[in-house]
Amino acid sequence: MNDYIALIHKDTDSDFGVSFPDFPGCVTAGRTLDDARIMAEEALALHVEGLLEDGEALPRPSTLETIIATRENRDAVAILVKRPSPERRTVRVNVTLPAEDLAAIDTYARQHGMTRSGFLAAAARRKLKESA
C-alpha cells in the first residue's frame, strides 16, 4: 500500500492541523479542510523525499486500528494520503521577490507549519487548478 494515514486535528480558534503517525515531525496545517488535505500531500512528499535522500527506509504504513489504539489519535479525523511516486523529484529554482512579500510568505508558512518551498508549491498548484 502506498497510502499513509494523516490525522486532522482542529482546536478552537486554530487552523486544521495535520500530523502523520508514521512520520513523527511531519506536520502541516490549513485554514480549511481542503487546504489541510492539500498541505498534507505536500508535507508527506517533502518528508518522504528527505528521508530517501538521506538513505533512510520508509516505514510500512500503519493500519487505522493501530493508529486509533493511541488515545490522543481518537479525537482526530483520519484521511489517507498517497505517497508520492518515485518519479516525482524536486528541482531547486531561484526566484526574485520583493523583500516584504518574502517576509509575509515566510511568516505565513511558519505559522502554518510549512516551509517556504511548500507554501510556494501549494500556491502554484492551487492557481494552476483554478486555471484548468
Give per-residue pLDDT as tens, 12-34. 888 999 999 999 989 999 888 98
The answer to whether 42 touches 27, Cβ cutoff 8 Å, is no
For the structural domain made of 3-131, what CATH number should be given?
3.30.160.250
C-beta separation of 3 from 61 below 8 A: yes
**pLDDT tens digit sequence for 32-55:** 898 899 889 989 988 888 888 788
Distance between CA atoms of residues 118 and 122, nearest Å:
6
Domains of the chain: which residue ranges? Answer: 3-131
Please state the pTM of the whole predicted model. 0.67
